[in-house]
């Protein structure tokens, strides 16, 4: 019988994008003696590749079968580099790709969200079969778990809502730690009561790790990234970034809401509810401290934090008769946005115009705009950026917006937000 302490690790696609990355994951895991639940994402850019396959499939572009073969060869190349020979593993990978092909041939449901979850979810299933097998081959004994047998959700495809009561019973029946100290499973995916697969939102593996930590009363969660922790800005877009050593749950929620890619927006709530610490650490430098996220009542002294969301659309709505009954119009507008699953990132109102900044989601937004045009004059600008500056200073703002065309802006005590033209960075 192992000790009762449980840690939850999440490794993203960047950490397992190659055979070298999988070996590095093993090196990280070997540093720990506690009970572990390891949540692993799809390898590298597999999710993007599966999304392209899905798009071609729905467009009836038969070249998607070539893309399936390329993706299969990508995974088998990693298998061949990790193992001298592993016929059983290759047969498992073949079987999973056969399931993808079978769905593509037999499916008659053309709903994008449903098809997305049935196809794109295979990235995590294939990845974890490979990683689990390699861990076992180097004497890091682990039990592979199909997380769909534990996490149950509704049928809100692409953004499944977890049934915590059912999932808790199933999770505790599965992750017993009686015969195993390490379990390895998928992030991002769940299952409806009728057995169809759902996903929890793009980059949802963080959320999976947090849910499991909550259900299993874990000691903490660590998200292993290719950066040293939470930085005050994405180094791909900003210079002179610095690491933040401690972030409160509240601050993390604010950053995630604003679009920070380091944490999935839903990750914090399951952890905050049980006061489970979250660490963000580098899988390249596992001995470094990283960033700790935990409850704090003490105001934090943080540097300006920059969050950039690209592919934004600014929509301005004006009632056709110019009689803007704000309460009735707002309820109508938000009902339409909710119906079409359009997420609003920023709002501005004037006497007769209501403006919103939203993600450019091609599968949701056009239908919402079409319905809004029935009762409102609709104007919109595409290909914009939304820059959020938390804990801003005048100098920090000036450096970012100087010379830029700003379409809409807001400032509160601690946050400044700007909708601007996109520039090359």
Distance (Å, whole) CA 407 – CA 421:
8
Average pLDDT value over all residues in the chain? 93
96-146 pLDDT per residue, tens: 999 999 999 999 999 999 999 999 999 999 999 999 999 999 999 999 999
Q: How many residues does the chain have?
A: 425
Give all strands (DSSP E) within 249-375, no chain letters.
Answer: 278-282, 291-294, 305-319, 344-349, 354-359
List Cβ neighbours of 328 (8 Å cut-off, separation of 6 or more).
Answer: none
305-421: same fold as 6-294? no
191-209 pLDDT per residue, tens: 999 999 999 988 789 999 9
Query: Which helix (H) or strand (E) is 94 found in, with range?
Result: helix 87-106
What topology does CATH give the domain 6-294?
Carbamate kinase (3.40.1160)
Domain boundaries, given as residue ranges, for the chain = 6-294, 305-421
Q: At residue 356, does pLDDT exceed 80?
A: yes
225-250 pLDDT per residue, tens: 988 999 999 988 998 899 999 999 99
Q: What's the pLDDT at 120?
A: 98
pLDDT band at 327 (very low <50, low <70, confident <90, very high): low
Bridge partners for 225 per DSSP: 282
305-421 in CATH: which number? 3.30.2130.10
**In the chain, % of residues over pLDDT 90:** 83
Q: What's the pLDDT at 326?
A: 61
Burial readout 359-394 (b: 16 or more C-beta within 10 A, e: otherwise): beeeebbeebbebbeeebebebbeebbbbbbbbbee
Distance (Å, whole) CA 44 – CA 75:
10
């Amino acid at each position: 019988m192992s000790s009762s302490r449980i840690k939850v690790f999440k490794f993203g696609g960047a950490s397992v994008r190659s055979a070298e990355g999988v070996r590095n994951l093993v090196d990280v895991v070997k540093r720990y003696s506690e009970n572990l639940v390891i949540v692993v994402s799809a390898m590298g850019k597999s999710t993007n590749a599966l999304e392209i396959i899905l798009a071609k499939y729905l467009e009836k572009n038969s070249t998607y079968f070539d893309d399936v073969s390329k993706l299969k060869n990508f995974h088998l190349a990693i298998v061949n580099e990790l193992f001298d020979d592993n016929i059983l593993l290759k047969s498992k990978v073949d079987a999973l790709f056969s399931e993808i092909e079978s769905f593509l041939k037999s499916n008659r449901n053309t709903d994008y969200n449903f098809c997305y979850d049935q196809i794109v979810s295979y990235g995590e299933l294939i990845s974890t079969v490979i990683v689990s097998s390699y861990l076992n081959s180097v004497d890091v004994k682990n039990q592979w778990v199909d997380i769909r047998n534990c996490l149950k959700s509704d049928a809100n495809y692409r953004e499944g809502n977890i049934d915590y009561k059912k999932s808790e019973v199933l999770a505790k029946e599965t992750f017993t730690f009686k015969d195993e100290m390490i379990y390895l499973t998928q992030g991002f995916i769940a299952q409806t009561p009728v057995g169809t697969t759902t996903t929890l939102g793009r980059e949802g593996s963080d959320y999976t790790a947090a849910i499991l930590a909550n259900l299993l009363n874990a000691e903490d969660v660590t998200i292993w990234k290719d950066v040293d922790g939470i930085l005050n800005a994405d180094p791909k877009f900003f210079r002179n970034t610095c690491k933040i050593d401690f972030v409160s749950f509240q601050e993390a929620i604010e950053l995630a809401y604003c679009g920070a890619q380091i944490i999935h927006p839903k990750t914090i709530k399951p952890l905050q509810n049980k006061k489970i610490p979250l660490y963000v650490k580098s899988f390249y430098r596992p001995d470094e401290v990283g960033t700790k996220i935990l409850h704090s009542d003490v105001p934090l002294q943080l540097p300006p934090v920059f969050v950039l969301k690209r592919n934004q659309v600014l929509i301005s709505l004006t009632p056709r008769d110019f009689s803007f009954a704000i309460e009735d119009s707002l309820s109508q507008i938000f009902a339409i946005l909710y119906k079409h699953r359009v997420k609003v990132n920023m709002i501005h109102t004037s006497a007769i115009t209501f403006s919103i900044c939203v993600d450019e989601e091609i599968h949701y937004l056009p239908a919402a705009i079409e319905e809004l045009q029935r009762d409102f004059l609709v104007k919109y600008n595409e290909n914009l950026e939304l820059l959020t500056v938390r804990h801003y200073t005048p100098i920090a703002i000036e450096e970012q917006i100087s010379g830029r065309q700003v379409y809409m802006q807001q400032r509160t005590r601690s946050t400044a937000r700007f909708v601007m033209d996109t520039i090359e960075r």
